[in-house]
Structure 1
Amino acid sequence: MLPRLHHAAIICADYARSKQFYTETLGLKILAENHRAERDSWKLDLALPDGSQIELFSFPDAPKRPTRPEAQGLRHLAFAVEDIDAVIAHLTAAQVEVEPIRIDPYTDARFTFFADPDGLPLELYEVTTP
């Protein structure tokens, strides 16, 4: 019934900084970028290789997230990666702090967390194919 995620939407505090992070640091492809003058808001559509998308929004005076990471609502976004060590090396070279690798107690998969410029928790989850 629900075959895959289409998109996740993120409201950022500093549009230019977040655009740079998601496009240059994470390497996501820009599909569309629109300024909505009536809302004084930007909307950036970004593509992941599997066809899913992230929508990056800016809104004037958007309230901050009350707590991290256990506030109600979206807890984090997880990206499936084949080589977690290579992605961590890329992020570290870009001055992004990455937490130590953990092991999922149910799947034995390796995973870790890092944050976007607004502190949104992002996860790398290593997926290996047999």
Structure 2
Amino acid sequence: MVASAKRKYYEYQLTNAANKKQKVWEIIKKESGKMTKTDACNETKLTPEDFNNYFVHIGENLQKQFNNSDEDPHLFLQKTNKSPGTTCYLEPVSLQEVKDIIKGLNKKKTKDIYGMTTTLLEDIRDI
């Protein structure tokens, strides 16, 4: 009974929070005991199971907040799906333009998600 009430309390807190990420971390701090002295309170601990249940059931809880509609979703999409007013066109670039861009990069040893550095890119530029 207490766990259910606590879960509902935290669901309410998260649902109504302006900054949900911040509220999640506040709850984690409270329940893990890593609060500042000014944050101290006598609430019971939130278990990992309670925390997990919130996220497992969030879809169902959100669905309950909305009215069912008899309108065909395809019609809704047709009404709202408008083509953009502008288009994006990428112009072809020459090999020399790419080489010039690489040459202009600052040499750093910081790696990108593929493990490439600008120094390495500079070294293999003319291959």
* Same-fold status (TM-score > 0.5): no
Q: Which has the larger radius of gyration?
A: 2
Q: Per residue, is there more strand in 1 or in 2?
A: 1
> TM-score normalised by the shorter chain: which range applies?
under 0.3
Q: Per residue, is there more helix in 1 or in 2?
A: 2
Q: Which has the higher contact order (CA 8 A, sep 6+)?
A: 1
